[in-house]
Structure 1
């Protein structure tokens, strides 16, 4: 069984790495705040000294960080992944970034003698814990084949989407739709309750019809309870909407609904809800 590195142990990365350890993989972990490694070390992981050291000692290294800037920082510099990758070892970046960032990282890893796969995920904290993420892989097909056993532990579906950039693009399309849906859903919940309707009855009626979906059911329940425990930070959804709109500009594709949803999430960040769950956009809308 191949040795695996895992860089970035936030809400998603911690759960994903834990599933790999529990499945019997030989896992070495690293996080900028090293205290976050302790729980995984207690499960049987090794702790790496730097991204460079992890990439140099593992057959393939996975990364899960918050945004394009963090993804680039992880790779660059004397202690970055690029400095350690070499010898045809693999680097799988599961962060949500734009296609330009992904292509920049791909070129750097390849130039350093490694293989690169982008593999952003669709899913939040619970699917990460349950190993039911949807993994959107693109890039080096031999690395995709090598990573497949790990993907099968972390997710329920891991299609191969072709050249680097297509995984990033698919993730932005999916999250753009999610952000737009959550924005109009929050408007509907707010309007209905201000009109004197019962919030739970709104949810029950939506759930019984053609609009039924797990996100409305789960996020609606959170909104009624005023429980915004974070499974997908609101600031990250706004980042994804911004990146999707930028892709639309690049491709001359009008995205008026996405632009309006982006403004709703920007207002929620301005109101102080950046680190709460995406469901908290409701607080800014109502």
Structure 2
């Protein structure tokens, strides 16, 4: 049994951040802006340069990074990177202190989340699945939406840190970490399904000679969320380029769709539309578009219909 979670003032909390990709760096900057003492670690040390200039300290290993941490926040790529960073001689679990709390923002399989929770318990630490909804630009603005699952006292202790980047709201899904991962996967399922649907609608209307402006007007009758409309506009204009510190790539989209299918298989729930999405993402990758924003799945219908792929809009 883990020890009781001790409350402490925000000013005394020592935070470690693991993983400094475009999303992780944005989250870490917001934590630092709130005045927390911050130690960072990344496999690519150059990604920490801006944070170091802003006052963070760089650790050589994940194990070293967490030695004094009260709260650990991580933003890695997938299940393997989460497990690899946790385990081994230089894994953070070898250095984590008793009753430390780890908030993992990575979108991973629910069963991997359960596995990580058990590993943390064995080392006397708390594991919170803290998946986030939003792109890197939303993270930079501190407006991510967080789904938190795990020990409820630990969640409250970690809340001041999570609030630093979660202006979009915090939703506590309960004391089961896996549930936060299920919720995030279903949220991404809604997004991915609509990205594909937008592509199908534009391709069909184009084949019938309907002007794109008219198609967009019709879509706006049914959709009002600015984030979803931004994706619709990307698909209309084929604006799939990813600028510095923004976007979610096609390979990440395929990774998440595979995680959706695995989560369904593990509880006997067929997800046929996710099977379609997997084939569409594979088609996009097969056509050399893997480094684009994941909304490029909107071109899958164009490819399969034999429509030409006009030049994409490119950022300066």
Per the normalisation by structure 1, the TM-score is 0.95
RMSD of aligned residue pairs (Cα, Å) = 1.5
Aligned residue for 1:159, secondary structure, equals strand
**Equivalent residue in structure 2 for 1:84, among 66, 88, 95:** 95
> CA offsets, 1:2-25, max 9 Å, x none?
011111111110111011111211
> CA offsets, 1:84-114, max 9 Å, x none?
1132111111101011111111111110111
Structure 1 residue 196 corresponds to structure 2 residue 212: no
Superposed counterparts of 1:72-221, under 5 Å: 72-155=83-166, 156-162=168-174, 163-207=176-220, 209-221=221-233
> CA offsets, 1:107-145, max 9 Å, x none?
111101111111111111221111111111111222211
Structure with the higher helix share, 1 or 2: 1
Distance 1:161 1:18 in 2: 26
Distance 2:196 2:186 in 1: 16
Aligned residue for 1:53, secondary structure, equals helix
How far apart are residue 214 of structure 1 and its match?
A: 2.6
Distance 2:56 2:213 in 1: 44
**Equivalent residue in structure 2 for 1:275, among 291, 296, 299:** 291
Distance 1:98 1:152 in 2: 24
The answer for the alignment partner of 2:248 in structure 1 is 232
Gaps of 5+ in 2: 1-10, 303-316
Distance 2:300 2:272 in 1: 20
Distance 2:78 2:208 in 1: 39
The answer for the alignment partner of 1:8 in structure 2 is 19
Distance 1:153 1:143 in 2: 16
Per the normalisation by structure 2, the TM-score is 0.86
Distance 1:123 1:133 in 2: 5
Greater Rg, structure 1 or structure 2? 2
How far apart are residue 206 of structure 1 and its match?
A: 1.2
Gaps of 5+ in 1: none
Aligned residue for 1:203, secondary structure, equals helix
Name the count of aligned residue pairs: 285
